[in-house]
Amino acid sequence: MNLERLKELFNNFVDIEDFKPFYKLLDNIKLKFPNYDPVVVLINSEAKNYHIDDNRVFNCICGKAKLKHVYEVSYNEEEYILGSECINSLKLLSNLYDIIHLLTSEELQSLNRMNGLYNELKLLSKKKCINYNSCLKRIDLKKNCKKDIMYKTYCSKCIVGTDKVKCNLCNNTISYIVGKIICKECELKKRNKSYCSSLGCKAIIDNKYKYCFNHKYLYKLGKKECSYKDCKKLIENKYNYCYNHNTIMTPFGGSFCSVCS
């Protein structure tokens, strides 16, 4: 497919006003690559990179200056820049699929490659959510360019509050901290560590043990501490509370503490 053939197709099946932005792109490609048909350049171009330029020093191949969203493309190892408007003009190519019966197999292949370039360019400004174990969504960096870094790292599905995200391994909620992607429990598990099984004890021990040094003697005695917040009274393992804090069932099926009632 070449420029004359593409113009013929567009002139017959696409509103000429809609064609103008795309034709402007082709015209400027011709200026940069004067020895090549601009359609051939598009067919064989490769999407390379995307970045946000707050200094706005890059210009689109069409002449638009001071781009914020910069898409780098290459043809024959020579790079050129496309802005969002020129990339969006490539969407016009999808109209030609309605007349696929008029295209030769070679022309259809060319159309697919140009349309593929459009899709590849769009993907450049999207990246996978950092929660790669359970999330397949992508983050739109262009859409979130003015937001905090959290919105450029996690997708909307994995952000569960103004400063809360999902753990990368267990999906439990954790506070967002740059560089921290898993919760404390998962971090310990990766190190073959865990917390002491005694309620409220935050001592970190090897997974092969159930209790820390201070509480392991209770396990041997078949004892544990009362589960009531600050109560340290020892009780048998089959109970949850000491006598003073033992809970009893209410007539409505709930429970209340015998000391507080």
pLDDT digits (tens, 9 = 90+) for 106-158: 999 999 999 999 999 999 999 999 987 778 889 999 999 999 999 999 998 89
pLDDT, mean of residues 224-249 = 73
Neighbours of 110 (CB within 10 A): 22
Give the residue among 199, 30, 9 at the shortest CA–CA distance from 95: 9
User: 155 and 137 in contact (C-beta within 8 Å)?
Assistant: yes
**CB crowding 128-148: b at 16 or more within 10 Å, else e:** ebbbeeebeeebbbbebeeee
- Going by pLDDT thresholds of 50, 70 and 90, the confidence category of residue 219 is low
Pairing between strand 164-166 and 173-175?
Answer: antiparallel
Q: Does the pLDDT value for residue 171 go beyond 80?
A: yes
Average pLDDT, the chain: 84
Q: What is the pLDDT of residue 20?
A: 86
Task: Give me the helices (H) in the chain, please.
Answer: 3-13, 16-32, 38-43, 84-89, 105-124, 184-190, 216-221
User: 80 and 61 in contact (C-beta within 8 Å)?
Assistant: yes
Q: Does the pLDDT value for residue 210 go beyond 80?
A: no
pLDDT, mean of residues 183-200 = 79
User: 108 and 92 in contact (C-beta within 8 Å)?
Assistant: no
User: 100 and 122 in contact (C-beta within 8 Å)?
Assistant: no
**What is the per-residue pLDDT across 78-120, written as a single tens digit (0 to 9) for each?**
999 999 999 999 998 988 888 888 899 999 999 999 999 999 9
Q: Does the pLDDT value for residue 258 go beyond 90?
A: no
Q: What is the pLDDT of residue 221?
A: 64
Q: Which two tokens stand for residue 223?
A: 């004892």
Q: Does the pLDDT value for residue 31 go beyond 90?
A: yes
Cα distance between residue 156 and residue 154, in whole Å:
7
Q: Does the pLDDT value for residue 249 go beyond 70?
A: no
Token pair 């507080």: residue: 260
Stated as kind and residue range, the H or E segment containing 47 is strand 46-52
Greater confidence, 19 or 35? 35
Cα dihedral angle (207, 210, 213, 218), rounded to 10 degrees? 180
